[in-house]
Structure 1
Amino acid sequence: MIQLATLACFFLIVYLYVRHLKSSSRHLHLPPGPKKLPLLGNLFNVPTSLAWITYHKWCKELNTDIIHLSVAGMSIVVLDNIEAATELLEKRSHIYSGRPRLPMLSELMGYDFNVGFMQYGERWRKCRRLLHIAFPPDDSQRHHPQELNAAHNLLLRLLEDPENFMDHIKHMAAETIMSIAYGIEIKRNDDPYVTVAEQGNKAIAMVAVPGAFLVDTIPALKHVPDWMPFAGFKRKAKEWKKLALMASAMPFETTKQMIDDGSAVPSFVSYCLENSRAGDDPAFEESIIRDTAGTMYLAGADTTVAIIWSCILGLLTNPGALKKAQQEMDSVLGVGVLPEFGDQDSLPYVMAVVREAFRWRDVAPIAIPHYTAVEDVYNGYRIPAGSIVVANSWAMLHDETMYPEPFEFNPDRFIKDGKLNHAVRDPGHAAFGFGRRECPGRNMALSSVWITVASIMAAFDISKAVDKDGNTIEPSYEYLQDMICMPLPFKCSLKPRSKEIQRLIRC
């Protein structure tokens, strides 16, 4: 009876709080924003590319950390600094953990299986529970063996074929996550599982940016016949839906077959399926396992690749940072010795390089949008129910008050007196999402990037490539600017630092 009374009091307080917000916010203004047209709002000036830069520019012009846009009646709220994001997406996560309806991506393309885009609810909670089994917050070392093995395999490929370093890094990321998620060994650069997932990620990147497809603003358009001239988006969606089904089903069915014939190695899917077949826990539903595993690969592969590519690009702009990291490793580990995870705490400058890689050219400049189902108030502004809430991670990671000269690749910003300077924010505060939608695999992502970057710097000198006449080939430093931002192909020189390190890599 006491528990029921407590529960009743709780719901009464919540109800009264919501009523208070509605009554007190009725006369409040919306957050400032660019000028709106009647009915259409910001339909013609909402950015569809480099949105994070435009959002930040508007915030600067209006001297605000929050702006409001309206696109044909759809309310969009942009949070431009960490204080606003923390207050709303972290402290009020109970009302900001939803995802907006994504007709193109989820309903037409079939990516509603992806936990990152999934609506907040029971299915999402089941998937997140399994993700916590895969990436327990209190066990960051669980996947170190697979990550270390993939990093060492990468070094061998870089030694034998340095020119195709970008492909080798993609292979390394795929090898790591496919081993952890499915127990599948990736041996070729043109592996079919990897190819399908890459194509699927490209489709997601094009579609998931708010405003990219009109059907996301006017969902009724999804019902127009496919043959109509302006229904090209539906024909694209049909092709991309095939990729979605293949990306989640192909490796999952392979692991099931390996379990049946006794050749499976321990993995997330094998563990979950064994528990499912034992019938010990109803949470281990096969479709939940399949969707969660599919999310693991789609979410982890491209992001890891983009960060490592950016790190190499950053080191090309700052050769001194590479020398400092190499000197630190030579001093602590010894010359010609490869780092291991146990060396992490004794190599602060290497960690500073990794942190700067996450910050400098952040992979997801605007995090996946949140959605609020109830009206709220922030700093005297009314946030309407049904608003899409966008966190401008790019602005947070390029805040010149925290990161002076933010567009320079400078790991020294994280170092003070030879140690990590904890007064400078770890970029993880904005690089992995917010609140209950924070990336559950952040510890694995950080450790995988750390061991890979540390191993490359320990083994190779990295410099700008030269042509046959000895002229320096300057990288373009251009990026594919989608939901996931990745460097466009560039060249660099990777030369082993010594004969000893070559022998160590080959053994």
Structure 2
Amino acid sequence: MSLLDTSTSTPYYAVAIAVVIYRLILSSSQARRDNPNRLPLPPGPKGYPIIDNLLDFPTVRPWLVYDEWLKTYGDMIYFKVLGQSFLILGSLDRTYDLFEKRSSNYSDRPRMPMLNELCGLHLFYTSTVSHRRNLEWPMQIETTRAFLRKLLASPEDFLLHVRHAIAATLLRATYGMAIDDDEKAKEHVETAEIALASLAEAGNPGSFLVDLFPAMKAIPSWVPGAGWKKKAAYWRTVSDTFVQKPWSMVIEKLKTGTAEPCVATAMIEKLPEDGSPNAAEETEIARNACAVAFGAGSDTTVSTVQSFFMAMTLNPEVQKRAQEELDRALGGRLPEFSDRPNLPYVTAVVKESMRWQLVTPLGENIDIILDVRNPLIFRLSVGVPHKASEADEYDGYYIPKDTIVIGNSWSILHDPTIYKDPFNYSPERFLKDGKIDPAVRDPTVAFFGFGRRICPGRFLSQDSMFILISSLLSVFDIKPGLDNEGKEVKINPQMTNGLMSYPEPFKCRITPRSTKAEQLIHQS
């Protein structure tokens, strides 16, 4: 699907065409000024006058289209859409060169009116203090054991249980809410899911023309073809509730002395007093950071664990080998974090689950910036692109100012020169002589972002994946679901479209491995 498919209105495009002509005049003048050496642009698909590559600009699973273009034009491709320049990087070396070595010029984020100004999702912030693992691990163990019990009771709801297991940890850590015994907490999880769905759609670069032409946000919602304005208004209402409501609840609990220590209470206690010069700004930053920490911090882990379920239905031999390793190492108990050094194959399963079907295939990170003292650190891993602050010359090519630059993590983690048969699910690729092979590229190099913007919350996420996956394999068998005739259904490993990608719905059977395993779950 091309960007052209996102609207069918003549008035809508009339405004766009007028703006395009104006931008073409400006960009032509700027190019002559900023490219004195007359260097060529990087290679890429040829476009048409005025509209450039509008007709072939992908909005559905764009990472797959970019991957094909990269195979044709090399590991760096350039194209334009209605005057807006895009640069796609398809190798780790390219991302390192621009995002780390030249970070001063490629650390900005492009303006995204649909996401930020119309939907109200202001997520571009950073933090500085790491969460101590000895505080995380007990909470992760507790929520994982509760997850196993729920899965035993209603295995058909495994997708819901996965999301709630991850959300429970982050909701407790962020707002001091217990998801199982607080209806307001459950409501917040549901609101978060809607807010994150809007993020996935609105944050996909180029999906809405208003991102290319910010002036179009002034178009009234009643204009034919401007239905995106109504959608944005709804998303804004949801995002406001998502950010404001739990924060207000924590403040009320602080007043009554019933607040549980959490990220929000730590932030509130460190905020300047009302009336101070930066009080309003720092409060808004802290409030937004809490929302992102809970909402999107869970989604990378949720999607990866769901991909793991799908992989197990397709690869029973992998499941069997992992279970054999767990049986040898654990001796009939549930796993702890201290068991990780003795579980190299399970660790490889976690790595392959991250690599195989990426959560953020255009794998950049949104930074959560906190200008407060001693709150916990969080960062949201989603595919928000970089922007060239100034025109640049790189490897013999000219990169125009304001070019949107995207690291295509999908290509990096499916490079056949690095990963043999990259579309196969094979944890063995990470092992050598029964140990994790350090010579094999770790998927975390692209899964959590690049260079100086790599996600500092990556350890929390990896810990959650490890304890969930190892616990699941130790007590459950995972197989394809059954159809009405009792035959196993065919699992098609497809992912959804959007800024964050999830497995398409699929059916699977989850049963205890044995009576002893079932008893172990009840006792946990």
Tell me if both proteins adopt one fold, taking TM over 0.5 as the criterion: yes
Match of 1:302 in 2: 299
Q: Percent identity?
A: 38
Render the CA deviation track for 1:69-124: whole Å, top value 9, x for unaligned: 11111111110111101111122222211110001111111112x1xxx2xxxxx3
- 1:505/1:45 CA distance change after superposition, 3 Å: same
Q: Which amino acid aligns with 1:26?
A: N
- 1:385/1:500 CA distance change after superposition, 3 Å: same
Match of 1:66 in 2: 76
Aligned match of 1:106 in 116, 134, 140? Answer: 116
Match of 1:235 in 2: 230
Q: Which amino acid aligns with 2:352?
A: E
Distance between the aligned counterparts of 1:109 and 1:81, measured in 2?
33
Match of 1:253 in 2: 248
Match of 2:427 in 1: 411
Deviation (angstroms), 1:376: 1.6
The SS at the match of 1:504 is: helix
Deviation (angstroms), 1:345: 1.4
Deviation (angstroms), 1:465: 2.2
Deviation (angstroms), 1:468: 5.5
1:450 to 2:466 alignment: yes
Match of 2:287 in 1: 290
Return 357-366 or 257-266, whichever deviates more. 257-266
Render the CA deviation track for 1:355-408: whole Å, top value 9, x for unaligned: 000000010111221111112222111111111001100000101111111111
* Preserved CA contact (<8 Å) 1:275 1:281: no
Distance between the aligned counterparts of 2:177 and 2:305, measured in 1?
23
Q: Which amino acid aligns with 2:461?
A: A
* Preserved CA contact (<8 Å) 2:86 2:404: yes
Distance between the aligned counterparts of 1:444 and 1:39, measured in 2?
47
Deviation (angstroms), 1:225: 1.8
Distance between the aligned counterparts of 1:228 and 1:24, measured in 2?
40
Match of 1:494 in 2: 510
Count of matched residue positions in the alignment of Structure 1 and Structure 2? 467
1:30 to 2:23 alignment: no
Q: Which runs of 5+ in 1 are unaligned?
A: 1-21, 119-123
Q: Which amino acid aligns with 1:316?
A: T
Match of 1:347 in 2: 343
Match of 2:409 in 1: 393
1:506 to 2:522 alignment: yes
Aligned-CA RMSD value? 2.0
Deviation (angstroms), 1:291: 0.9
Q: Which amino acid aligns with 1:379?
A: D
Match of 1:157 in 2: 150
Return 30-39 or 284-293, whichever deviates more. 284-293
* Preserved CA contact (<8 Å) 1:432 1:442: yes
Deviation (angstroms), 1:278: 7.5
1:210 to 2:220 alignment: no
The SS at the match of 1:461 is: strand
Match of 1:369 in 2: 385
1:357 to 2:353 alignment: yes
1:177 to 2:170 alignment: yes
Deviation (angstroms), 1:502: 2.0
Q: For residues 84-95 of structure 1, what are the structure 2 equivalents within 5 Å? A: 84-95=94-105
Render the CA deviation track for 1:324-368: whole Å, top value 9, x for unaligned: 11111111111x211111111111111100000000001011122
* Preserved CA contact (<8 Å) 1:25 1:377: no
Deviation (angstroms), 1:23: 7.3
Q: Which runs of 5+ in 2 are unaligned?
A: 1-32, 364-383
- 1:24/1:227 CA distance change after superposition, 3 Å: closer
